Amino acid sequence: MTTIPDHAHTADPVANAAPRGYAGHKDDQLSRLHKVEGQVRGITRMVGEDRYCIDILTQISAVTHALQEVALGLLDDHVRHCVHDAVRADEAEGDAKFDEVTLALRRTLRL
Amino acid sequence: MTTIPDHAHTADPVANAAPRGYAGHKDDQLSRLHKVEGQVRGITRMVGEDRYCIDILTQISAVTHALQEVALGLLDDHVRHCVHDAVRADEAEGDAKFDEVTLALRRTLRL
Amino acid sequence: MTTIPDHAHTADPVANAAPRGYAGHKDDQLSRLHKVEGQVRGITRMVGEDRYCIDILTQISAVTHALQEVALGLLDDHVRHCVHDAVRADEAEGDAKFDEVTLALRRTLRL
Amino acid sequence: MTTIPDHAHTADPVANAAPRGYAGHKDDQLSRLHKVEGQVRGITRMVGEDRYCIDILTQISAVTHALQEVALGLLDDHVRHCVHDAVRADEAEGDAKFDEVTLALRRTLRL
């Protein structure tokens, strides 16, 4: 689906060290995601142990909320960096990025 | 939060064999959740490898969708069994179950 | 939480003419919906006047939130009355009501 | 996807009188919103007439879906025009626009 492997082809070592927009927040995102992994394992365990449904639903709400926070953080970094750079570089490239963002939002909002 | 009085502790072997409403669909739910665990690890890896944001957002949408399917399945089984039994047993107990379900939906819908 | 005044038990013909579960909260729901109507007209006017997009988005969020509150209130009353009565009357009828509720939630959650 | 080039660059006074990004899609959005107004009035009427809850829930889902389509359309136009222009004009102004968009998405996603 993605065909944008390589905007990191510059020889600039700084750009290569932090190629994606979200790199600056990467540690935060990774620690959130590690927490989500633990929460999902917890949900699997609760189902395996026949725990009370309503308590499992509460955990699922917490996980989907955490994942949407991660998604919003990624999207925010994406528009500030990838979209921003595309817009400043070239109209057509900017338009393509806007199309991608709208499509991603459409999926996120289930539209 | 829940104070459900351990109805799995009964000596009734039938109750112990399938104590929660979702027990009948338990294998399906467990295999969905195992798949979600793998997907979340995949998302963590994608962030760690600086993969393209939009592709990560697509994966997050897939996971939140799968988790909401699990939640809807649990809720469906819950009302068909726990709520159903409470309603047939006792008005006050039924009302308490309805309160719980509405609160769980409120959390799920972020209201 | 619910204080529904036994609408199905009275001999009052007006109450009997309004058999739906939400009848007890009908005035609240109607006043919420009248407010929503005004908000939607406000959104139409804002678009017509080329108002700032972000402000319009804020209004749309408020309206969808209000509508989901109405939906949750209707659903809560529905399960406490229609589903409740069906469950106490007949297993097959109860099952049909549970199917309906799950399907309605599926649409609400866009699953 | 977008076919609204250069709306701010023309000397056409009508175009200049409609400076917002969504102006090009304004008629579509207005006709969607007029339809939503009618649907909300229909929902109010259904509640007033004690119509079946599940049918009302179906209508509410349709309206929230339509409103989110309007919101996504407004947001798409907003980033293609207001945010785009701000980014090309000035870094600080671009950053302020990105902040606004993220906050609007946060409200839309209920985060």
What count of residues does chain A have? Answer: 111
Partner residue opposite D48 with nearest CB, options C30, C44, C47: C30
ipTM: 0.80
pLDDT at res. A86:
94
Residue of A nearest to D76 (CA): A102
Alpha-carbon span D85 to D94, nearest angstrom: 8
A109 contacts C57 by C-beta, under 8 angstroms: no
Q: pLDDT of B91-106, one tens digit each? A: 999 999 999 999 999 9
pLDDT at res. D5:
40
C94 contacts B85 by C-beta, under 8 angstroms: no
B82 contacts B20 by C-beta, under 8 angstroms: yes
Residue of A nearest to B34 (CA): A44
Q: Is residue A59 part of a domain?
A: yes
Q: Determine how many CB atoms are found less than 10 A away from the CB of residue D55.
A: 12
Q: pLDDT of D4-54, one tens digit each? A: 343 333 334 333 344 455 556 899 999 999 999 999 999 999 999 999 999
Give this prediction's pTM: 0.81
Q: What is the mean pLDDT of residues A88-102?
A: 93
D40·C37 Cβ contact <8 A: yes
A104·B56 Cβ contact <8 A: no
Q: pLDDT class for B76, splitting at 50, 70, 90?
A: very high
B97 contacts B70 by C-beta, under 8 angstroms: no
Q: Is residue B1 part of a domain?
A: no
CATH code (residue D67) = 1.20.58.1000
Domain containing A35: what range? 21-109
Q: Is residue C50 part of a domain?
A: yes
Alpha-carbon span D64 to D69, nearest angstrom: 9
Partner residue opposite A72 with nearest CB, options D1, D76, D109: D109
What does the mean pLDDT of chain C come to? 84
**Total structural domains within chain B:** 1
Q: Is residue B8 part of a domain?
A: no
C10 contacts C16 by C-beta, under 8 angstroms: yes
Flag whether pLDDT at C102 surpasses 50: yes
pLDDT at res. B22:
57
Alpha-carbon span B5 to B27, nearest angstrom: 25
Q: pLDDT of C5-48, one tens digit each? A: 433 333 333 333 444 555 568 999 999 999 999 999 999 999 99
D61 contacts D38 by C-beta, under 8 angstroms: no
D97 three-state secondary structure:
helix
Q: Is residue A11 part of a domain?
A: no
Q: Is residue A87 part of a domain?
A: yes
D64·C61 Cβ contact <8 A: no
Partner residue opposite D43 with nearest CB, options C33, C61, C82: C33
pLDDT at res. B7:
40
The conformational region for residue A109 under phi > 0 = left, psi -120 to 50 = alpha, else beta, is alpha
**Residue A71 vs residues B26, B70, C38: alpha-carbon distances, Å:** 29, 20, 33
Q: pLDDT of A26-76, one tens digit each? A: 999 999 999 999 999 999 999 999 999 999 999 999 999 999 999 999 999
**Residue A100 vs residues B65, C57, D3, D84: alpha-carbon distances, Å:** 20, 20, 16, 15
